[in-house]
Amino acid sequence: MTITSKQRAYLRGLAMTIDPIFQVGKSSLTPELTAAVDEALAARELIKLSVLKNCDDDAHSIGEAVAERTRSILVQVVGKKITLYRPAKKPKIELPKK
């Protein structure tokens, strides 16, 4: 699934008000973290992750890897914050039309 720049901007606006619900630490991206992110995306559609200073990996590469593993869309990476989106079967977030 791809989204337009207008839809991405809308999601970025929604993400400004939410806090990160996961932290990526020294062990980086574990299967347990990936499974937890997958469950959170199913429940919330739009989530944020925070990459801690003790993590050796780059936030952008972690964001791309999580998005690929969870079949979600990497909305943005700002500093150490990653925003992901995946529409649910019954979407709560209504994106602007293409």
Domains of the chain, earliest start first = 5-85 (3.30.110.60)
Specify the pairing of strand 22-24 against strand 46-51.
Answer: parallel
Per-residue pLDDT tens over the stretch 24-47:
999 888 999 999 999 999 999 999
The reported pTM is 0.91
Which of 84, 73, 66 lies closest to 20, judged by CA? 84
DSSP 45: S
**Predicted confidence (pLDDT) per residue in 56-83, tens digit:** 889 999 999 999 999 999 999 999 999 9
Distance CA 74, CA 65 (A): 9
Listed residue (95, 89, 97) closest to 41, CA to CA? 89
Q: Of 43, 52, 39, nearest to 82 (Cα)?
A: 52
